[in-house]
Amino acid sequence: MTELIPPVADLADLVLAMVDPPWPTTEDDRLDFYRRVGLTQLEWDNSGFDERPDDHSVWHRFATSLPEVDGMDTMFRDQFLGLSLFAYNQPGDDGPASRTAYPLLKDRFTARFGAPTEEWGTEREPACYWAVGAVQVEMYCFQRLASGVMLRPSHRDRTAEHDRQAAADPRNVRPPRNNGPVEDGS
């Protein structure tokens, strides 16, 4: 059997503590939230970014008190959106830790929140989310190039507004791929 580091119960408890009210709004709230749930802000090396994806978002990297779990948060228009936590990361496809942890985490969150609000993905790379009051908890199992589980507790309305604005920003529109000449039939 695959040893999970951290134990699933510990990671689930951390996420459950994160979704307990109050959900942070301001920068001061975010810092209080970090203290409440045991996160430590880390330096952010943005040397690989040529430009920010938008003019209104700020990201912070953090470490958790759990081994091998870290992540980042997002502030948008000076309001706290949410976090992305990364766990059970392994190099290569089809990591046994993420395949083992995902259904165990899903069971714990289902016991607390009820059935997922929505599920999608594939058997190999499942994803789901729960709507929990003003907060949503998304969970993804990745199995490409590297494997792992990502958990995303975030504020539902603020995240939806961020997504709407990001979709409307022309910097986020990707040009169509040029796969050779297109025959128009004329």
The pLDDT assigned to 29 comes to: 95
Average confidence score pLDDT of the chain: 85
The pLDDT assigned to 167 comes to: 76
Percentage above 70 pLDDT, the chain: 84
In a domain, 183, yes or no: no
Q: Which two tokens stand for residue 56?
A: 């209104």
Domains held by the chain: number:
1
The pLDDT assigned to 2 comes to: 77
Residue 120 DSSP code: E
In a domain, 171, yes or no: no
What confidence tens digit (pLDDT) does each residue in 8-55 have?
A: 999 999 999 999 988 999 999 999 999 999 999 998 765 555 555 556
Percentage above 90 pLDDT, the chain: 62
Lowest mean pLDDT among 50-59, 136-145, 168-177: 168-177
In a domain, 181, yes or no: no
In a domain, 142, yes or no: yes
Above 80 in pLDDT, residue 168? no
In a domain, 155, yes or no: yes
Q: Which two tokens stand for residue 132?
A: 């929990």
154 pLDDT tier (thresholds 50, 70, 90) = very high
In a domain, 184, yes or no: no
DSSP character string of 46-96:
-TT-SS-S-SSEEEEEEE-SSTT-EEEEEEETTEEEEEEEEEEEEESSS-H
Instruction: Over range 102-126, report the average pLDDT.
Output: 96
In a domain, 61, yes or no: yes
**Where do we find the tokens 């990361």?**
89
In a domain, 185, yes or no: no
pTM: 0.84
165 pLDDT tier (thresholds 50, 70, 90) = confident
Please, where are the H alpha helices in the chain? Answer: 8-19, 27-37, 96-113, 156-168
Range of the domain at 82: 8-45+53-165
Q: Which two tokens stand for residue 168?
A: 């409307």
For residue 23, the SS3 value is coil
The pLDDT assigned to 55 comes to: 62
